[in-house]
């Protein structure tokens, strides 16, 4: 059974599944407080939609991890006595979620194992995380608008991924390799990064790496041996 190579997305999916359960419960309880039958039906319909979202996320989780998702816990949201306050808060949360998903984060790739990628845009700074794709599948990404400021190298910097054509399409200013080996990235990949003048960060050599948007672009911070130092790009 395949194990998903990066646990960030599976963890995010589990968190969203818990949110969907909480949302379904919220609308179901809210429906029980109203007297108007048409309003009650609408709220129960929304509750059922949230359950459908949960099941969709459940299928995605199983597809990319090969494992069953087991999410049953959630924190019930307290209801106000005023239905309009409840709806106003919920509508704003839904609109914010749509804004974030539509403009900040989206999938690229075919959807099969080994072809997942995600591009995140935060305050005009773009990050591409192709996860575990190999050279065989990189071409699927070429026409997807993958140009990004920061690239997380696939397969820990292996030459089985990270082809020159792919890196040329991404055009990153900085690249990160997540590995337990200090000098893992293979020479062919290192040469490509050097030729394109791309800064490389290695989690073994540089420690924990964080990236944060700032007024003049973004900031890369490295945590090594108890010390934190920053570089600005």
**Tell me, what's the pLDDT at 98?**
60
What is 105-232's CATH number?
A: 3.60.15.10
**Tell me, what's the pLDDT at 191?**
92
**Tell me, what's the pLDDT at 81?**
78
**Tell me, what's the pLDDT at 174?**
95
Taken in order 165, 134, 116, 18, the sign of the CA dihedral is negative
Closest among 16, 14, 18, 47 to 33, alpha carbons compared: 47
The DSSP result for 45-106, as a single string, is: HHHHHHHHHHHHHHHHHHHHHSS--------PPPPPS-HHHHHHHHHHHHHHHHHHHHHTEE
| pTM, full prediction | 0.55
**Tell me, what's the pLDDT at 181?**
58
Q: For the chain, what are the domain ranges?
A: 8-101, 105-232
Q: Residues near 186 by Cβ (< 8 Å), separated by ≥ 6?
A: 157, 158, 159
Low-confidence ranges of the chain (pLDDT < 70): 1-8, 95-116, 123, 143, 180-185, 224-233
SS3 content of the chain, % helix, strand, coil (to 5): 45, 20, 35
Closest among 137, 146, 136 to 111, alpha carbons compared: 137
**Tell me, what's the pLDDT at 127?**
86
SS3 state of residue 165: helix
CA 164 to chain centre: 25
Q: How many CB atoms lie within 10 A of CB 232?
A: 10
């Amino acid at each position: 059974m395949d194990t998903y190579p990066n646990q960030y997305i599976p963890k995010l999916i589990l968190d969203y599944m818990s949110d969907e359960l909480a949302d379904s419960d919220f609308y179901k309880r809210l429906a029980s407080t109203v007297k108007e039958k048409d309003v009650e039906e609408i709220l129960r319909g929304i509750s059922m939609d949230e359950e459908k979202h949960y099941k969709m996320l459940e299928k995605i989780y199983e597809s990319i991890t090969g494992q069953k998702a087991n999410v049953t816990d959630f924190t019930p949201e307290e209801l106000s006595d005023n239905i309009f306050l409840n709806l106003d808060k919920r509508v704003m949360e839904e609109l914010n979620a749509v804004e974030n998903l539509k403009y900040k984060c989206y999938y690229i790739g075919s959807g099969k194992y080994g072809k997942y990628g995600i591009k995140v845009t935060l305050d005009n700074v773009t990050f591409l995380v192709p996860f575990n794709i190999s050279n065989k599948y990189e071409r699927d990404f070429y026409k997807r608008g993958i140009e990004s400021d920061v690239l997380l190298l696939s397969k820990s910097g292996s030459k089985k991924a990270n082809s020159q054509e792919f890196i040329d399409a991404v055009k990153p200013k900085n690249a990160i390799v997540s590995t337990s080996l200090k000098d893992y990235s293979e020479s062919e990949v290192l040469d490509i990064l050097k030729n394109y003048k791309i800064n490389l960060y290695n989690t073994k050599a540089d420690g924990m790496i964080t990236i944060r948007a700032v007024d003049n672009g973004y900031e890369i911070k490295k945590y090594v041996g108890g010390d934190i130092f920053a570089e600005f790009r």
